[in-house]
């Protein structure tokens, strides 16, 4: 399932990049277009759709209790895998795209106020004949010092900090707690000695969804008054999310089934297919709010995507259920 999510994000990013080139998107919105084309609101939507389908009387996925348990597990795993991708790769892309305006402004200012600089070559000329004899001990210490310096530079680098954001670290910790049995028995189970910690974290996490929705809704008024999103760009994102990605998902899952990489459980196959048809992720709005650009444009894109998804997601869900059963 994480591999399938990565493939869907890669296909969406490629289609978004092509859309950026075709529509000549402004530099500060390139990250927004790629993010909306690749990242989906997997956890929230799957947590709603899968249990609802499992509780139907004529559900094609078997026993309702077993189906609901597997459905919640698939939704949670999808949410964690998607969060790692959004807050690592996409966060870097969107931050780089937003900083393009600052770089362009700085270049213009530097060109208009450039002054000639004096360059001195005296130090290199004075030391041109100076030769240091190699010392084996100093050379070993120098190599060790360089390795230590390289390691410390990597740890303190901004790129590593951008990848390992708090959301990414939280998803990794969640994977560890869920996989390692002693941690799971100490925190997650109802009779766990530290279950209160898990309950508190879960309570705080449930407030994240309405908080992100409020942020997007607050920016919607500004976006409707004056948005820089062109009609061609908006239509391109809608076509990618509601037509091209769901169709490519069928090809990917069918190919995986052909090579024996996917089991025969229909609910699992249905979940893999559905990951390609879900609207853009709400986390994108949180990142844009942090960066300080594109919030109004994102609210307009989300509005139209969820309006169209009310119809397209229903049709794709029915078609996927027929396909796997």
pLDDT in tens, 216-266: 777 676 666 656 678 889 999 999 999 999 999 999 999 999 998 888 889
DSSP 8-state assignment for residue 87:
I
Report yes or no on 86 lying in a domain. Answer: yes
Higher-pLDDT residue of 118, 173? 173
Whether 127 is covered by a domain: the verdict is no
Residue 224 included in any domain: yes
Confidence of residue 150 (pLDDT cuts 50, 70, 90): low
In a domain, 125, yes or no: no
The CATH number given to whatever domain includes residue 281 is 1.20.1530
- What domain count does the chain have? 1
As a whole number of angstroms, the distance between CA 318 and CA 306 comes to: 18
Of 283, 260, 274, whose CA–CA distance to 74 is shortest? Answer: 274
Flag whether 319 is in a domain.
yes
> What is this structure's pTM?
0.74
Whether 58 is covered by a domain: the verdict is yes
Q: What is the pLDDT of residue 129?
A: 45
Residue 204 within any structural domain of the chain: yes
Supply the range of the domain harboring residue 172.
1-106+161-324
CA distance 111 to 98: 21
Looking at the domain assignment, is residue 118 inside a domain?
A: no
Angle at the Cα of 248 from the Cα atoms of 282 and 314, rounded to 5 degrees:
60
């Amino acid at each position: 399932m994480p591999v399938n999510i990565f493939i869907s994000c890669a296909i969406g990013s490629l289609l978004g990049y092509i859309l950026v080139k075709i529509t000549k998107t402004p530099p500060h919105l390139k990250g927004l277009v790629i993010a909306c084309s690749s990242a989906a609101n997997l956890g929230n939507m799957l947590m709603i759709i899968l249990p609802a389908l499992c509780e139907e009387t004529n559900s094609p996925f078997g026993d309702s209790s077993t189906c609901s348990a597997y459905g919640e597990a698939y939704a949670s795993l999808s949410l964690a895998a998607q969060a790692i991708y959004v807050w690592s790769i996409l966060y870097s892309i969107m931050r780089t795209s937003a900083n393009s305006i600052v770089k362009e402004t700085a270049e213009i200012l530097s060109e208009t106020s450039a002054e000639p600089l004096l360059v001195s070559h005296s130090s290199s000329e004075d030391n041109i004949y100076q030769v240091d004899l190699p010392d084996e001990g100093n050379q070993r210490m120098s190599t060790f010092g360089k390795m230590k310096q390289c390691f410390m530079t990597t740890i303190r680098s901004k790129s590593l900090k951008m990848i390992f954001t708090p959301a990414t670290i939280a998803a990794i910790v969640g994977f560890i707690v869920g996989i390692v049995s002693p941690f799971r028995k100490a925190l997650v189970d109802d009779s766990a000695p530290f279950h209160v910690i898990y309950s508190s974290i879960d309570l705080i996490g449930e407030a994240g969804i309405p908080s992100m929705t409020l942020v997007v809704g607050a920016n919607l008024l500004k976006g409707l008054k004056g948005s820089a999103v062109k009609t061609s760009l908006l239509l391109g994102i809608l076509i990618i999310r509601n037509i091209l990605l769901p169709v490519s998902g069928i090809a990917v899952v069918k190919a995986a089934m052909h090579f024996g990489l996917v089991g025969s459980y229909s609910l699992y196959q249905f979940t893999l297919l559905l990951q390609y048809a879900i609207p853009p992720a709400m986390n994108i709005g949180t990142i844009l709010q942090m960066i300080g650009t594109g919030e109004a444009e994102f609210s307009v894109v989300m509005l139209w995507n969820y309006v169209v998804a009310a119809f397209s997601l229903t049709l794709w869900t029915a078609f996927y259920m027929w396909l796997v059963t």
